[in-house]
Structures are given as C-alpha cells and as structure tokens.
C-alpha cells in the first residue's frame, strides 16, 4: 500500500549558520518521513536545497535541474563553489578573496543513490553539504579554502522514483528494503521487481556476459536493453558535458561499509589491469589513507569484495571512457555490517555520519591537482661528473646538469601524463609519453642564441614520482656561477588529458655548493698550463 503525504524537515537553512555542527548531525539523523521512519522526506529535502541556493548564493551557486527520472521526477545538481558577492561583506569572514578563477577550479561530482534503497546515503550527503555551509560561516579555514579551490557538484539522489516508492510504502519496510532498481516498467515483472539496476547500465563493457549483470528483466542486476537505456544514467552522461574539469566522481550508496574502485568487469581480484597500465596514485593513496578515517572499511574491486564481476559498471565507465578517477563508497559503520532499512535508527545514522564525514571532506580535497615539482639535483658540468657525458668545458660555454622530480599528492595519475615541458628562462625542452622508455635524445637543439638543450632523458619512474634529467648549455661570457644565475628559475608544465598545470618558480639548489669543486678543477688545469687563468667570485 502506498501513501502520498507532504512532510516538512525540521532542519532549516538558517540552522546551518547558527547551530553547532553536533546539533546539525543530530537534527539530520532524527528527521523522519511521513511514515515516521528515519529517512529524509524527498520533496521536503528539495525545498531545503532550494532555500540554500537563495540564502547562500556565494557558496551554493545553483540548484540545477539536470533531467528527469523514468517517472518524471526532477534530478537535481547542487553546485557549491565560492564566488564573491555583496552578501559576503556582511559575514565577517577575514579573507573574502577568491583563490582560483572558476575556469581554473577542478571539479568533484558526488552522486547519491544509484540504488533505490540507499536512503542513509542521502542523509550523509545532506550532512556533507551542511558541513561545508556551516564551516564557511564559522571561520573553518580548511573548508573555506576548499570552496575557493573546487567546484563541488552534488546530485543528492539519482534513483528518486524508488526512493519515493519505498518512502510511501505503508506495509512492512522489510518488503521493500532490498529494492535496488529504478522504476522502469517491464510487463513481465511484478511491482517490486521492475526496473533497471543503474550500476549495470553504463557504457563500458556493458552486457559482455551474464555473470557481471543479468539480461533477465525481473532480477536485481538487470542491466537494461542497452547501455544508458535508463533515463537516470542518460542524465548523468549528459551532465558531464557541462562540468568544468571533473577530476573525481564519488558515488554514494549505503548498503554496507566498503569502497569499490575500477576495474570491475574482469574476473580477477588482483586487478592486474589496474595495477599496471591504469594504476593511479589516486587509488593507492586512497587505500593508504582511508583507514585513518574509517578503520573498518573494506576496499577493492568487485571481485575482491564479492567474488563477482560487475559489467556496465559506473566506475569502470568514468575511469576507462572519461579518464576520471571514480569510486563508489557504500557509506557505513564497522559495527553495523550491511545495514537493512528495517534496522536503521537515528542513532545509527548519526554514528555513520560522524564516522565518515571527514573522509567525505578528504575526497573533496583529493579532487585538486596537487602536483608538486622540485629540482632535486643541479650541478655545473665538469669532467668528474658522470652525468655530463665527460664534457670538457671551454671558458664562456657552460653546461648544467638538472634533475627534476615531479611527484603527486592528489588526484593526478602520473602514469598517464601526455606531455611534460620544462621551461627555463627563454629555453624550452619537452618530451612526450613515447620518450618515457626511449631513454635519451642527444641531438642538439638551439632554442635561442644563448641557450641550447644538449640532452634530455627520462630517468626513472616510481609509483608516485617521475624523475627527468636535462643537460643545458649556456653560451655566455660570464663565469659559470653568474651564467647559472642568469638562466632564471625553472617552471614545469604538465599536460594531463588536455588540462595544463604549470608549477612556476622552482628555485635551483645553491650554486655556491659547486664553487669549490670548480675552483679546484680549474686550478689544476691552470697548473698544467692548459687553461686560461680566471677566478670565480
């Protein structure tokens, strides 16, 4: 039996600014729907999100209709990112400046509820949105900076039709608590079996077998008639055409306590494809760091988690087809296992939110480029340095050996860098991915009247580090120390799937460290009468 009834949230937009965050978690956890169950009423939640966009336009930029579900419900995208407006002047925030322009900000997209019964995931998303609004208005520097440096898109819930069906069901919740699929009608199925499993309806390896998904309409893993045949997944596919520079996609469910990441269509728990060609520092650092936030959480691909494959998978699609880091997080608690809707209480929702909220903020942080580069080694070439290829200097023409280390603390997948350029004053050296294994290029390339690149090489690559080497030649009348200083600081430009990141003004090591070595070398040459006498100052 179904019941349709309006119901209002007790949580208000104004509360996010004025209440303590502990109080906000309590209010979100204790919300009840029209049946008295501890789930957020969907229609009231939409009203709440609309009010946020009205009250906080400087951080809640818009609540946008992305499309509709099979039954015509609006699917919303809530966009959070700081922009200065006149309202900010009255907030008392110490730093009102914008860190990055909109076009420079990377995006994270957080999608709630591909599955119909992930009601707790929606509560968690509302808590995450609330934490960002609350932190901005309570001088939380970390959260203010995130809003200044990210576009954060929330799709609060995708499978709204089933969410509302469960919420309106007046019988025992146990009858509907395992409903995963959308409400796409098939004539052969009863009311509780209809629909498509949206996590099997994406366009990567869709329907490659009947083990990782099903072609039987009434089964829970039914994949649909074609990739993106469900209205909801088509909305998501189209939505990504308008998102600025998406770096991370986080899909939230609430049927357990685990994180699923690519690749899931292969029947191999060791995931060799991921660990070789596509293994990303994002996933390795995710695995390393997550346990600091939630000690009981499990992580892996579908086979390692469940001994099953999953084709038409959302994470496989975004990572394989769109080159976006993607993972699905079933937000939960180690004490609750697979939490059934019938066992969900306000206390358990509160514990789940409290346990995982910092991990949610961590995921938003991971969406930044967070690439760092440094000069690890700089040397004036003399014959005693092996890396300079036995170079014999002549006065006024100096060579310098440079080793650059590029390393990653965020989302960047260093294994898929398409081009790396080092810009040194008015000289330019670059090599592309094909040069990674072909060690050197020795042809001299004159890039200006004064500076030449003699040699570039790919030195080594580790899981999170790439090292590059170069020999630079400077034709100048100055001594080598003055010559080195005149070359200017180093910039590193990285091109990643069409996006360009430049790390500027990397200072060389102290040139004075090599002065004594050069003095000794040239003094010995002078004694042999084979070198023009000069003094380094």
Instruction: Please check whether residues 453 and 347 belong to one and the same domain.
Output: no
Q: How far is it, in rounded angstroms, from Cα 414 to Cα 9? A: 45
Q: Contact, 3 vs 119, CB < 8 A?
A: no
Q: How far is it, in rounded angstroms, from Cα 359 to Cα 158? A: 22
Q: For the CA atoms of 458, 368, 259, 208, what is the dihedral angle to 10 degrees? A: -60
Q: How far is it, in rounded angstroms, from Cα 255 to Cα 236? A: 22
Residue 3 is assigned to a structural domain of this protein: no
Instruction: Please check whether residues 395 and 332 belong to one and the same domain.
Output: no
Instruction: Please check whether residues 109 and 142 belong to one and the same domain.
Output: yes
Domain boundaries, position 56: 15-366
SS3 of residue 377 by DSSP:
strand
Backbone angles phi, psi at 414, to 5 degrees: -65, -25
Contacts of 480 (CB under 8 A, 6+ apart): 380, 393, 398, 518, 536
Residue 68, judged by CB atoms within 10 A of its CB (0-12, 13-18, 19+), counts as: middle
Instruction: Please check whether residues 54 and 86 belong to one and the same domain.
Output: yes
Among the candidates 366, 381, 396, a domain finishes at: 366
Is pTM beyond 0.75 here? no
Instruction: Please check whether residues 45 and 193 belong to one and the same domain.
Output: yes
pLDDT of residue 444: 30
Residue bearing tokens 């072909």: 438
Q: Could you write out the DSSP letters of every residue in 58-70? A: TTEEEEEEEEE-T
Q: How far is it, in rounded angstroms, from Cα 140 to Cα 131? A: 10
Sheet strands (E) in 145-220: 151-155
First to last CA, the chain: 91
3-state secondary structure 95-138: CCCCCCCHHHCCEEEEEECCCCCCHHHHHHHHHHHHHHHHHHHC
pLDDT of residue 106: 81
Instruction: Please check whether residues 362 and 317 belong to one and the same domain.
Output: yes
- What are the CA-CA distances from residue 495 to residues 432, 472, 492, 501 (Å)? 10, 22, 10, 6
Q: What is the mean pLDDT of residues 379-395?
A: 55
Q: What token pair was written down for 478?
A: 């100055």
Q: What is the pLDDT of residues 120-165, one digit of tens each?
A: 999 999 999 999 999 999 988 889 888 988 899 999 999 999 999 9
Instruction: Please check whether residues 158 and 239 belong to one and the same domain.
Output: yes
Residue 57 is assigned to a structural domain of this protein: yes
Burial annotation 309-336 (CB, 10 A radius, 16+ → b, else e): bbbbbbbbbbbbeebbbbbbbbbbbeeb
Among the candidates 366, 401, 418, a domain finishes at: 366
Instruction: Please check whether residues 78 and 213 belong to one and the same domain.
Output: yes
Of 11-20, 382-391, 437-446, the one with minimum mean pLDDT is 437-446
Q: What is the pLDDT of residues 324-348, one digit of tens each?
A: 888 899 999 988 888 889 899 999 9
Confidence check: pLDDT of 413 > 90: no
Q: What token pair was written down for 212?
A: 């990782």
Confidence check: pLDDT of 261 > 70: yes
Element (H, E) at 80: strand 74-80
Residue 5 is assigned to a structural domain of this protein: no
- What are the CA-CA distances from residue 484 to residues 62, 206, 471, 478 (Å)? 51, 57, 12, 9
Q: What token pair was written down for 137?
A: 């208005």
Position 425 confidence tier, pLDDT thresholds 50, 70, 90 = very low
Burial annotation 449-476 (CB, 10 A radius, 16+ → b, else e): ebbbbbbbbbbebeeeebbbbbbbbbeb
Residue 252 is assigned to a structural domain of this protein: yes
Q: What is the pLDDT of residues 520-530, one digit of tens each?
A: 544 444 443 33
Among the candidates 366, 381, 401, a domain finishes at: 366
SS3 of residue 301 by DSSP:
coil
Residue 9 is assigned to a structural domain of this protein: no
Instruction: Please check whether residues 450 and 485 belong to one and the same domain.
Output: yes
Instruction: Please check whether residues 266 and 413 belong to one and the same domain.
Output: no
Instruction: Please check whether residues 362 and 376 belong to one and the same domain.
Output: no
Q: What is the pLDDT of residues 20-67, one digit of tens each?
A: 999 999 999 999 887 888 899 999 999 999 999 999 999 999 999 999
Q: Could you write out the DSSP letters of every residue in 245-279? A: SEEEEEEEE-SSSEEE-S--SSS-TT-HHHHTTS-
Residue 19 is assigned to a structural domain of this protein: yes
SS3 of residue 522 by DSSP:
helix
Q: How far is it, in rounded angstroms, from Cα 253 to Cα 330? A: 4
Residue 293 is assigned to a structural domain of this protein: yes
Domain count, the chain: 2
Residue 479 is assigned to a structural domain of this protein: yes
Residue 141, judged by CB atoms within 10 A of its CB (0-12, 13-18, 19+), counts as: exposed
Instruction: Please check whether residues 126 and 233 belong to one and the same domain.
Output: yes
Q: What is the pLDDT of residues 179-206, one digit of tens each?
A: 999 998 877 898 889 999 999 999 999 9
- What are the CA-CA distances from residue 70 to residues 61, 67, 214, 232, 234 (Å)? 27, 10, 20, 7, 11
Which CATH number does the domain housing residue 111 bear? 3.40.630.10
């Amino acid at each position: 039996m179904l019941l349709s009834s309006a119901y209002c949230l007790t949580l208000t937009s104004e509360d996010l600014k004025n209440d303590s965050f502990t109080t906000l978690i309590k209010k979100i956890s204790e919300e009840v729907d029209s049946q008295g169950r501890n789930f957020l009423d969907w229609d009231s939640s939409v009203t709440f999100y609309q009010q946020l966009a009205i009250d906080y336009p400087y951080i809640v930029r818009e609540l946008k209709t992305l499309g509709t579900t099979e039954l015509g419900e609006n699917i919303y995208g809530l966009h959070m990112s700081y922009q200065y407006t006149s309202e900010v002047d009255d907030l008392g925030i110490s730093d009102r400046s914008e860190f990055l322009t909109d076009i420079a900000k990377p995006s994270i997209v957080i999608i709630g509820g591909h599955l119909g019964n992930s009601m707790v995931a929606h509560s968690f998303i509302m808590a995450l949105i609330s934490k960002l609004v609350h932190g901005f208005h309570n001088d939380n520097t970390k959260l203010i900076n995130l809003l200044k440096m990210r576009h954060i898109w929330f799709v609060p819930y995708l499978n709204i039709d089933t969410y509302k069906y469960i919420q309106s069901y007046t019988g025992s919740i146990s009858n509907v608590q395992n409903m995963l699929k959308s409400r796409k009608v098939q004539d052969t199925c009863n009311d509780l079996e209809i629909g498509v499993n949206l996590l099997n309806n994406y366009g990567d390896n869709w329907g490659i077998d009947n083990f990782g998904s099903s072609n039987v309409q009434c089964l829970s893993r039914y994949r649909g008639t074609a990739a993106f045949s469900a209205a909801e997944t088509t909305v998501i596919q189209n939505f990504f055409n308008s998102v600025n520079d998406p770096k991370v996609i986080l899909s939230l469910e609430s049927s357990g306590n685990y994180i699923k990441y690519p690749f899931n269509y292969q029947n191999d728990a060791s995931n060799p494809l991921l660990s070789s060609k596509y293994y990303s520092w994002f996933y390795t650092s995710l695995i390393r760091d997550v346990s600091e936030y939630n000690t009981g959480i499990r992580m892996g691909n579908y086979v390692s988690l469940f001994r099953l494959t999953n084709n038409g998978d959302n994470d496989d699609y975004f990572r394989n087809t769109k080159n976006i880091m993607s993972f699905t997080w079933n937000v939960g608690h180690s004490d609750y296992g697979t939490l059934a809707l019938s066992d969900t209480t306000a206390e358990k929702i509160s514990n789940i939110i409290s346990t995982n909220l910092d991990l949610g903020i961590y995921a938003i942080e991971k969406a930044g480029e967070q690439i760092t580069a440094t000069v690890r080694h700089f040397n004036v070439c003399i014959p005693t340095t092996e890396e300079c290829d036995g170079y014999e200097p002549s006065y006024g023409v100096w060579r310098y050996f440079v080793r650059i280390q590029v390393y990653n603390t965020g989302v960047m997948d260093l294994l898929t860098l398409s081009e790396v350029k080092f810009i040194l004053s008015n000289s330019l050296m670059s090599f592309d991915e094909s040069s990674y294994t072909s060690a050197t290029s020795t042809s001299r390339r004159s890039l200006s009247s004064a500076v030449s690149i003699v040699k570039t090489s790919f030195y080594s690559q580790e899981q999170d580090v790439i090292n590059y080497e170069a020999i630079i030649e400077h034709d100048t009348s100055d001594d080598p120390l003055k010559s080195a200083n005149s070359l200017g600081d180093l910039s590193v430009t990285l091109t990643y799937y069409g996006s360009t990141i430049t790390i500027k003004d990397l200072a060389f090591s102290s040139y004075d460290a090599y002065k004594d070595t050069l003095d000794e070398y040239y003094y010995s040459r002078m004694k042999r009468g084979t070198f023009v006498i000069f003094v380094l100052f």
